[in-house]
Amino acid sequence: MAANEALQEGYGGIARVSRACGLSRLTIAKGMRELEEAPVAAGRIRRPGGGRHQLLVRDPELPRMLESLVEPLARGDPESPLRWTCKSTRVLAAELTRQHHPVSHEKVAQFLRAMDYSLQGTRKTEEGADHPDRDAQFAHINGQVRRALTAGRPVISVDTKKKELVGTYENKGRQWRPSQVAGPGEDP
């Protein structure tokens, strides 16, 4: 509005409007330049090219790097028989940042959802202590599954425990898993 008034005033208008309303002369001059520019296209709030560039434009390797962290055995192979991660989005984001691919934990969660992972919760809390190297267990199972599938044999994965409490016990933890592999509380 101040820029419009300064335009109406003509010569010396910037100085008079600046004194009258207390705005900087530079701000008023910038407003006058904006008034002379063509309006932005309908449905836009900035000219094309304004704002931040999309993360994938700046770092196209980011999804591949995330996939390599989530699926260390598959190394980008989307046909891996097992897919899992025990890492949180914050841990994954910190690891990507350490590898010179800075990203927030929220963006990691968006990428995981786009890769068809969903956060799965398990049903029971008191299942006993986890094996010290749970990832190594999954790596071993994955190797066995790959060998069986290569040989043309069917594969069934069964999760067994020595002891399991009977009842509706809830596990507070959740893990990222692909949506199509298993539903909540199901084994892949």
Give the per-residue pLDDT at 74: 42
Cα angle, residue 167 at apex, residues 126 and 83 outer, rounded to 5°: 55
Q: Are strands 117-121 and 174-178 parallel, antiparallel or unpaired?
A: antiparallel
Tokens of 48: 């094309």
DSSP assignment of 26-83 equals HHHHHHHHHHHSPPPPTT-SS-TT-SPPPHHHH-TTHHHHHHHHH-TTTTT-TT-S--
Question: What is the Cα–Cα distance from 188 to 181, expressed in whole angstroms?
Answer: 6
Length reported for the chain: 188
What is the CB neighbour count within 10 angstroms for residue 100? 9
Going from N- to C-terminal start, the domains of the chain cover: 1-51, 55-121+133-154+174-178
Share of the chain above pLDDT 70, in %: 70
pLDDT: is 74 or 134 the higher one? 134
| Statement: residue 146 has pLDDT above 70 | yes
- State pLDDT tens for residues 7-53: 888 898 889 989 988 888 898 888 888 888 888 888 887 777 767 77
CB neighbours of 160 closer than 8 A, spacing ≥ 6? none
pLDDT value at residue 58: 87
Among 74, 69, 79, smallest CA distance to 111 is for 69
Kindly tell me if the per-residue pLDDT of 118 is higher than 60.
yes
Give the pLDDT score at 105: 93
Nearest Cα neighbor of 128 from 175, 188, 169 is: 169
pLDDT bucket at 120, cuts 50 / 70 / 90: low
- Between 134 and 144, residue with greater pLDDT: 144
pLDDT tier, 73 (very low <50, low <70, confident <90, very high otherwise): very low
Dump the DSSP string for 113-128: HHTTEEEEE-S-S-S-
Q: If you average pLDDT over residues 131-153, what whole number do you get?
A: 82
With CA atoms as reference, report the closest residue to 120 among 179, 79, 180: 179
95 compared with 116, residue with greater pLDDT: 95
In the chain, how many H helices and how many E strands?
A: 8, 2
What confidence score (pLDDT) does residue 77 get? Answer: 47
3-state SS assignment for residue 179? coil
